[in-house]
Amino acid sequence: MPATQPTAAVPVVPLPPAAHHARLTSPTRLAALHATGLLDGTANPVLDRLARLTARLLGVPVALVSLVDDRGQHFPGMAGLTGWAGEGRGTPLSHSFCQHVVATDRMLLVENAAEHPLVMENLAFKELGVIAYAGVPLRTAEGETLGALCAIDVAPARWTPEQVATLEDLATAAMAEIELRATTQALLAAQTQLQAAHERLKAQAVRDGLTGLLNRRGFAEAARQQVAMAERAGVPFVVAALDLDGFKQINDTFGHDVGDEALVEMAVLLKETCRASDLVARLGGDEFVLLLTNTDASQVDAMRDRLATALAFHNADGLRDYVLATSVGFAAWTPGEPTSLPVLLKAADQAMYADKRARRAGGRDGEAGCDADVREAA
């Protein structure tokens, strides 16, 4: 490439290997580099356009916007590069002149790589045919050098002051796009974090903090949806009200921490006994409620037996000084005689207390079991 006003290449003194490595692996520099979101091997249209403009204005076959990390260089902006390096939009450091721009934080002008001691052994010269190279730093406002905007020729060249000035102006434009991209990435990350925090708060609003089950509000919202679906589909469901027998005695004897453990154990047992489509909630204290979807009154005995079996199995391990036992009442909703959810809950609650009275009268209060009355909502 002819040059109208030849200038000598800017001398760059190579750094000792340890210092070179330290510059490339600087945590703050790498953090700023990754914050751009431009290391994934995809093209950035603005940087591609600037690379094409660089090649055209400087009269070179190849121009690159090169971002250099601790393993290689990435080309989010590229013009004229072919072969494996172009297809992958990057190379390892073994094929990088731009690493020296980053390590020294200085412009690098190479007129003939075969005669330049800094790069004559670099594989970009030996394998990729890079002969002449002009690279200027891509530097953030905070002073971190992320890479280089470079012009490349496949024949020896002398770089003029006008070409260098043009390259520096284009590097400023490229850096503006890179920092805009980094700002956009930061805003997107903040938005994602805010959304995640919102989802956590939303979940906390409908979940019991101790057991992770639906709380009263969460159950009311989910149950309304289930009732609406049951009405549309014409399928029955059953509501069950439960409490933990002997819970006050557990608290008084062993302390509230153990009482909390008993509540968590009960919650786990109910989740494991119910189906994924069923709703399981803790309304407060030792009160639990279930909504058993696509279930009618004829299936209540089977549910009662599953729960009794689960309780017996849980208590059989003998690891605790107490046993889990529950009183339970059921209320069934049928499409032919639909009943509101509050009425169902009241009926199930009344059935639960009837079950508790029967257990006490029979001397079974606090035993592992869940004998229950089935009470149709009226």
Select from 268, 261, 249, 364 the least CA-distant residue to 320.
261
- 100 contacts 110 by C-beta, under 8 angstroms: no
Token pair recorded at residue 231 = 């009405």
- 10 contacts 109 by C-beta, under 8 angstroms: yes
CA pair distance 285, 245, nearest whole angstrom: 12
CA pair distance 136, 86, nearest whole angstrom: 20
Q: Which entry of 243, 245, 278, 286 is annotated as an active-site residue?
A: 286
In this structure, the chain runs to a length of 378
Select from 162, 136, 145 the least CA-distant residue to 7.
162
Select from 120, 65, 127 the least CA-distant residue to 95.
127
In one letter, which amino acid is 48?
D
Specify the 3-state DSSP secondary structure of 6: coil
CA pair distance 109, 159, nearest whole angstrom: 7
Name the β-bridge partners of 207: 214
What is the rounded radius of gyration, in angstroms, for the C-alpha atoms of the chain? 36
Token pair recorded at residue 254 = 């062993």
**Residue 32 CB neighbour total at 10 angstroms:** 19
Query: DSSP label at 7?
Result: -
- Catalytic, 286? Answer yes
Instruction: Give catalytic residues, as residue numbers.
Output: 286
